Structure 1
Amino acid sequence: GTKVQVPVAPVPAAQDDEIATAPAQATGNTDTPTALDETHAAPGTTSAEVQVAEAAVVLARAGSPRRRRIWRFAAAACAAGCTVLAALVWSSASWQGRPWGDLWPVALMQGLTWNLPVSIHAHLTLTEQLLQLNQGGRTVLLPAINFAATAAAFAYLADDVRRAVRAEAGDPLCRGGVSTDARLRWFLVLGAGATVVWTVITSSLRLPSNLWGIAVGLAVTAIVLGLAQRLGSHRREMSGFTARDGAVICAAGLAAWFLQGLSPMGAALAAGLALGFTRLAALRLALLFELVSTLSVQLYFLRDDWSFSRTSAGPTTTQMLVVVLLAFAISYATVAWLFWYVRRRSFYPFVIYLLLLAGVVCAALTTGVISAT
């Protein structure tokens, strides 16, 4: 009848967002067996002791913060190298160059807004309208800059992608004891495939770009994100991710592709919050969806973009390298800042910003400061 105490090593504090959910995973919703559980613990072991021991195992499997930082740095270096290579391949020696004023605003705006729950298309369109930029600079640069921003997101989320790729396949419907990493892999496959199919179906149905529509899209994104932030339970972690959650997040993100001004990343984020995920978990799922969906669309339109760029005047190789690396650096810094911010604050500032921007656009259109098309 003597209670047996289980020796447990001190659990280090979670320092990165990757292991912030480890204690929650250890409270009964683990996807892989840990060193201890209720049935294998010594007689007399309390439930709290088992949970602490399991949390220690989860944290140990996650690796040290230093190892994760080294992995992230290596991924960022590889992504930056691929970005440079893409810029060199994309550029043409026959291009005579374009004014720098037509190039750096596009890279700056793309890098800032790519991984935020705001509309990339809306900000690029407004930037061109206000600065009266030549759209040729954007049209030629956009595929390369998109790749740079996507590479930056991949560099930050490389550990998630690596674990998803290395996980056992499991059931595509995530039934039974399928690990979280395996569920994430099926989520990435679903997001990429569904995006290509949806793009083929809606490419001829998408509404033309109009600033009135963009203003409506900004307001809708703000309202949906605000409601999800307000009504979501914010209790679920990545360990509770299911196939149904993946389908809902993909559907929300794809629906936003149809209307200019809506943010696919913002819609996916709102869906994650509405499903009850914490802010960090919802943000990670939304960025993973945006990563695979954008990459699949880029690959689908690669031939058309390449053919257009070969027949159009574009920036010099030096300009291409500078602008693409600028977009990569800004995009990576934006992702890092966003995770730092979300660990401490809510998404309400983005809601307020989108509502204010929608109001400013409507006022500018009404007074004739900018034209609708």
Structure 2
Amino acid sequence: MSSALDAQRPTRRSGQALLLWGLLVIAANLRPSLTGVGPLLDQVQADLGLSAAVAGLLNTLPLLAFAVISPLVPRLAARRGPERVLAGALLVLTVGIAIRWIPTVAGLFGGTVLIGAGIAVGNVLLPSLIKRDFPTKVGLLTSAYATVMGGVAAVASGVAVPISEVAPGGWSTALGCWIVLALLAIALWSPQLRTPPPVAAAVHGGHRLPWKSGLAWAVTAFMGLQSLGFYVVVTWLPGVVQDTGISPASAGWLLFLFQVVAVLTSLAAPALLRRARDQRGLATVNSLIMLAGYVGLLLAPEWAVVWTIVLGFGGGACLVLALAFLGLRAHDAAGAGALSAMAQSVGYLLAAVGPVLFGLLHSVSSGWQAPLILMCVAAFGQAVVAMVAGKGTVRPSGDHQAPDQTPAPAR
């Protein structure tokens, strides 16, 4: 008996290592197809004759896809198994990248919708799978996949224009080259398809979203507000700083700096999560750091480099915390999937509105003061909901008891 168990351990360890590598490479696919678009928008508009408003939909459509598809994922995963659903999502993502490689308006927007659909499924299922397969390392592995996701996103922003300048096909190849990473994810994830499909009992449970939970709504609000901040900064930071006399090229590097600082901050998050009894203090402080960055841009925009670093510092930590809450606040893996679906559906709908409202306020007021005040209010609201979202456990759907306030382990 002992020798049989000893023989199984290496197999189990290698299986978990393969699973972890698969999850991290999937995480690497969740942002580059989005963040690589912004630097190429001018080229895309010129080649296809798109107006600025129509071109802006390329950043909005994926977020709307997240909002629409996220609530459907837990039920689908319960019926088919999360491994198979995630494999299907990777296939959809790959097809979307291939279609968007075609330099036509139909290919550009059709591919973008498919890319958004594929990423939406990955956004929901990764926290659930981490909660299920690595329950004692939720904080650590959430930080790891957030770091990979943010790091590849930053690289995509930085290399988009250089690739378009040297590769045949220009901007379409710069957008389409990420198909290589998607195919690698499919290859690494394919062994997980040997997992048996869910049993009948699992199919009928574990997929109801916790709409009646106040704690779930706090987590959702935190996810939505930090996402709103990220997409507003990614969309509008270059425009804000260019009005202070910074060149377009330098403004692009500031955006790269924001993402690099966010990635470096996410590397430090696991140590902070392990030391904290709960996450209320961390989430509140980092939300206030975001507030300080917006106030700085409002009052002293000439110090844009400093405020970019401040925003990256707070934003990187808030992203890790928002993703970690999906596992730490959940009762089990099914609960993590349901909470993830709810938080990302409403959260990304709010994120989709943010850049549009920010731009509208800029147009109406002919300046950046009103939109930056909006972001100050959003960051303050994020700090408020952080005090609730950072502690407790969301009860499974159908359980109407008060939320359990016993802190979930943050490891």
Q: TM-score category by the smaller chain?
A: 0.3 to 0.5
| Higher helix proportion | 2
Q: TM-score, normalised by structure 1?
A: 0.37
Which one has a bigger Cα radius of gyration? Answer: 1
